[in-house]
Amino acid sequence: MKISDKFCLEIQAVMNDIDIIKNGQIYEIDSVSGVPKCATVGARLEKNFMKLIQRIESDTKGDIEVAAEYLK
């Protein structure tokens, strides 16, 4: 299985936060409840990226594989 398939959910979480930043959808700009602060998005990106790297290095299952096992 390709890494991009195995870790598609983890990669998508990182990409979602990148899109939030690219689109300027942060609280400091919008001042809308429910829109994350830039620091929150940065912390999430860091956490999700480090989690993904750790999983790749240790060759553990991706979230999509875990979910597929639960659905069996």
What are the tens digits of pLDDT across the range 16-52? 999 999 999 998 988 889 889 999 999 999 999 999 9
* Amino acid identity at 54: Q
Tokens 């195995």 sit at which residue?
6
**Tally of CA atoms within 13 A in the half-sphere of 8 that contains its CB:** 9
Q: What pTM was computed for the model?
A: 0.79
Long-range contacts of range 59-68, CB-CB < 8 Å, 24 or more positions apart?
61/6, 62/6, 62/7, 62/8, 62/9, 62/10, 63/7, 63/9, 63/10, 64/5, 64/6, 64/7, 64/8, 64/9, 65/6, 67/9
